[in-house]
Structure formats: C-alpha cells, structure tokens
Structure 1
C-alpha cells in the first residue's frame, strides 16, 4: 500500500503538467492581461508645431487715428507745437560732493522745482529745495547737511510732472 500512494501522486502531478503544457490549461500560471499586451505606446520625437498666419492690425479708416510717426513729424516741422518737456538738468557738480552741490538746469517755462536727496532704497533723506523757479537756464547751489553719511545717493529733481534722477557720491 505504501508503494501505490507515491505512484498515484506522481501520476497526478505528471497529468497536471502535461495538461497545462499540451492543452494550454493555465493551472499553475496566471493568465496574461490581454489589454496591456495589445496596446503599444506611441513615441513622439518632436513637439507639435502650430502654424498660423496672423495678420497685423491696421485700421481701415483714419477716423480718430493718427500714427505716432506723423505726430513726431508734425512737431518737428511746426515749431509752434512743443513737446511737454519742461526740465533739463544739464550738469551736477562737484561729484563726489562733500559740503555743497551745484546744479545747472534749464526750464522751458516757470514752474515749481523740488530737489531731494534719496538713498539707494528710494527713501527721501533730505529736501534741499521746494520753490517756484522762473523759465530759462538756472544755476542753483545747495549745502549738504552734516548728518548725511558718506556713500552713494540719488539727487531727484522734480518740475511739474517731470522727474530727473542723478547719482551722486557723498564724502
């Protein structure tokens, strides 16, 4: 009886193995997922380009539209029309400055003039002048206060709506 049991067991194992190999029975192995094996990823070697022709905008009528080049040409040819430039700072001297600073500036018309010293962060340190100045070329002198530490500052000159900023060094 002891000999029949191992032979029966051996026969059963061999039948299972032969059946799975020849009859394609998947008894010992898992079935393969058919949805993943049939789909292949498409490789893209270059990015797609969108090709479009976009025309530039040009108005069909000149009603209410004046090109900027024509405005510039008319102000140059007609001296009666002036640009709104009021302030021209011609020179700031001496630079580096120790105790007194001089400004040569030109104003096209009479206006309020404000001269301030700003630090590197844009904070106002000292207001040197806030006065009404007549038109023409002016030379102004201002004393630098002793409380100003040595370093780099900005001189902000404001006249009307125009602002001119110059860099100065204080000793």
Structure 2
C-alpha cells in the first residue's frame, strides 16, 4: 500500500508541474479553435490596405466579330491610313426588297457581303467577289424568304470587317 501511495503522490506532483509549465502556454483545457490576441489599443489599429498589381481592363481597339474570329493585336492598332474598307451608306433602312450599299475600298480586295441573324448565323450571302479600289454603289435584291425583323449586314474586305444593323419589312 505504501508503494501505491508513493506512486500516486509522484503522479500528483508530476501533474502539478506539467500544469504549471504548460498552463502558462494556454495548452491544457482550452478549445483548439479559440484564438488569443494581445491587447491592442484602438489608436494602434489601422484599416488593412490591399496592395495589388492588377491592370485595369482596356478593350482592344477595333471590332471583334461575333463569328469566333478574334482580332489580332496587330490588326487592332490599325491607323486610319491602313484602313481598307469604309462603308459610307446602307439604304434604305428599313429594307423591303432591295438594298443599296455605298462603300469605298482603298485597294482591290475580295469583298464578302452577308446577312446575319441576331444569333450570328449566316442567312444569305449577297456577294462574294473581287472588288476594285474606289467608291461605288451596289444594289442587291433581298429574297422573299427572309422574315421581317432585325438583321446584321456583315461586310468583309481583305480581313477587315464592318457590321451594320438593318431592319427587314
């Protein structure tokens, strides 16, 4: 019995010493998710500042067509003098059965004129031909199968695209 009481006494002292050593470190009998902070006076607290190096969004210069063809940065920075295609006038708008397109090409190029629906699907190809340089007016007939509504006239010359909105009666 004597031996048992000595072991118990030894374990009691050992527990007291361990509690003294580890108790100051807030380890025993504490929640693991509890966080202890040092007392900070209100004058020392500051609003945290977020420092980033994110550049603001700047869209490309030029038009990005809706047919999944992206404009390359070289084409996006074209100056006015490098421009091939200038669409001067699309008339009449709203269109009934005939459309007149006045355009100017700086040099001879392959010209493609298509009518697209609102989803970007090709409905009709009006022209797909080699076109001489200079200003000219072309007349195109609109087929009767075209339902009335809003469409886009997509004019492509040498990789340069111009889109105009038209209404069909």
Relative to the length of structure 1, the TM-score reads: 0.57
Bigger CA radius of gyration: 1
Is 1:49–2:49 an aligned residue pair? yes
Deviations 1:128-160 (A, max 9, x none): 011111110010100001100000000000000
Give 1:35 deviation, angstroms.
Answer: 3.0
**Count of aligned pairs:** 113
Q: Distance in 2 between matches of 1:87 and 1:136?
A: 10
Which blocks of at least 5 consecutive residues in structure 2 are unaligned? 1-27, 54-76
Q: Does 1:98 align with 2:96?
A: yes
Q: Which runs of 4+ in 1 moved over 6 A?
A: 42-46
Q: CA RMSD in A?
A: 3.2
| Aligned twin of 1:35 | 30
The alpha-carbon deviation at position 91 of structure 1 amounts to 0.4
Structure 2 vs 1, CA of residues 168 and 43 (structure 1 numbering), >3 Å: closer, same or farther? Answer: farther
1:91-149 CA deviation, whole Å, 9 max, x = no partner? 00000001000000000001111100000000000000111111100101000011000
Structure 2 Cα separation of the partners of residues 137 and 39 of structure 1: 77
TM-score normalized by the length of structure 2 = 0.58
